[in-house]
Amino acid sequence: MKMRQDPILTVTLNPALDLSARVPHMIAGPKLRLEQTRYEPGGGGVNVARAISLLEGEVLAWVALGGASGAQHLALLQAQAVPVHQFQAPGETRQSWAVTDADGRQYRLQLPGEAWDASLARAALADIVAQATGLVVLSGSQPPGVDPGFPQEIATRLGPGRLIVDISGPALQELHDAPDLQSRPFVLRLDQAEAEALAGQALTTAAQTIAFAKALLEKGVAEYLCVARGADGSVLVGNGAAHHCVPPQVDVVSKVGAGDSFTGAFALALARGVAPVDALCFGTAAAAAAVMTPGTELCRPEDVTKVLAACTAIGF
């Protein structure tokens, strides 16, 4: 019997057709022949939707797709039985590459994507709101030309307690620099590099990360702030509480997809009515499970179950 769950809509403005492959040595000059090539539908919100689906949750993926690469992306996503609402994007959907050499070093390359104009962004906003009936997860980068305040516009239209954002670049900087209590997201998730860039310093301990998160919440950037700390798990701060969830040590095969697996599991737990601290543990387990898989593969449910049993949440 499936668990009761509120609807989840994931939003991907700038998806990518992901290629992962292996190469004996990554060197400049000669042609490098890739091995074990694999194509996956990618982009922040797409991967979040895939993670939710893998974890037996129900989700609708809103995805802006265009051109032949967009059609290939859509076919791959549908083959994974993820329900899709396609929004017509200009030009070709971008591609990205993750190439791993024999020593385990991974090289990640991404194209920027086609530029949008203001009218297309307005149409996308209206379409997103029309499809949203529960939680909304906005994840990934924005196409060139989309206003950095777009996430706050979505938050305003949805109202409190609805929007989870896992964004980067100018949109994240705008949310940090110009927060608005009338348009703040429900949850803002940051990876460690993003948090340290905003903090202007290294956050070497969980206590430092929590202090940073509390300062952002006081500014009004979100109702809850979640910050990843790599192998040291994640912290969640909000509603007068702060917790740090530490996963067990696992063998790292590929770090691709860990953040999206966290966000998918975290959102799914909240949609099932789970307390935020328990959602933090579920997300942490999914992130740890994701690094155990090769290439762009996300978390495996059986791995999540095993890791979750060993996750520990500490209150501060």
Per-residue pLDDT reduced to its tens digit, 40-59: 899 999 999 999 999 999 99
Are 293 and 300 spatial neighbours (Cβ–Cβ below 8 Å)? Answer: yes
pLDDT for 3 equals: 77
Of the candidates 238, 264, 219, the residue with the CA atom closest to the CA atom of residue 316: 238
Q: Would you give the DSSP letter of residue 34?
A: -
What average pLDDT does range 11-21 have in this prediction?
A: 93
Q: Is 260 a catalytic site residue? A: yes
Which architecture does CATH list for 9-28+43-315? 3-Layer(aba) Sandwich (3.40)
Question: What is the distance between the alpha carbons of residues 51 and 107, in angstroms, rounded to a whole number?
Answer: 23
**Distance in angstroms (rounded) separating the CA atoms of residues 311 and 38:** 31
Q: Max alpha carbon distance in the chain (Å)?
A: 57
Cα 125 to the center of its chain, rounded Å: 19
Q: At what angle do helices 301-308 and 276-290 cross, to 10 degrees?
A: 120
Query: 143-170: buried (b, 16+ CB within 10 Å) or exposed (e) per residue?
Result: beebbbbbbbbbbbbbeeebbbbbbbeb
Comparison of pLDDT for 256 and 81, the residue scoring more: 81
Per the structure block, which two tokens stand in for 90? Answer: 């200009």
Full strand arrangement of the beta sheet holding 94-101: 35-42, 16-23, 94-101, 106-110
Average pLDDT of span 179-188:
90
Judge whether residue 182 has pLDDT over 90.
Answer: no
- 55 burial type by CB count under 10 A (0-12 exposed, 13-18 middle, 19+ buried): buried
Please give the Cα distance from 8 to 265 (Å, whole number).
12
pLDDT score of 257? 85
Instruction: Give this prediction's pTM.
Output: 0.92
**Cβ-contact 45, 174 below 8 angstroms:** no
Q: What pLDDT, on a 0 to 100 scale, did the predictor assign at position 78?
A: 94
Catalytic residue among 18, 166, 191, 260: 260
Residue 237 confidence (pLDDT): 98
The yes-or-no verdict on residue 18 having pLDDT over 70 is yes
Mean pLDDT of the chain, nearest integer = 94
pLDDT number for residue 297: 82
CA 314 to chain centre: 24
Residue at token pair 């009515």:
273
Is residue 210's pLDDT more than 80? Answer: yes
194 phi/psi in degrees, rounded to 5: -65, -45
